[in-house]
Chains A and B, each alone.
Chain A
């Protein structure tokens, strides 16, 4: 079962092969991990959200 199938099974309330793991890693984690100031993302749109 690939990730797409696993996610679709979970969304459709079916039983996937394992619990899908899909953290929200959009803004804060990349900013923290890269060490870049948050204003690069939120004000200068670099990289774009």
Chain B
């Protein structure tokens, strides 16, 4: 946030801060583990394991030194087989939200002040948000 405010001041931009979010509270039934499986001067490869009540899923993400990460091995290998597990990534399918915290969001809004507007994204529920996982 501080870096963004400094950039606004330096470049004389109008702020449109869209990098904050509301923290949703719910019972998370997924345990996550990760391990670095390869590291050299150009990239880090990381394997992520997600343990759900109905089995585990894993994915491999590559983090290049000079580019954003990309998926080397996708999370969902067999949709029919994995469907019972992936529902645990969408809490609204198996539990209820117990609350939320807007503390960080309001703090960011106050810090931005008259330098711009602040916004958060609200994704629509559907399978398009899974595009990177197949």
Contact = CB atoms under 8 A, between A and B. Distances in A.
B63 A43 contact: yes
B66 interface: yes
Interface of A: 2-8, 11, 20-23, 25-28, 30, 37-39, 42-43, 47, 49
Contacts, number: 66
A42 B68 contact: yes
Contact of B14 (A22, A25, A42): A22
Contacts of B16: 7, 20, 22
Nearest to B113: A4
Interface stretch (B3-11, B22-30, B50-58, B79-87): B3-11
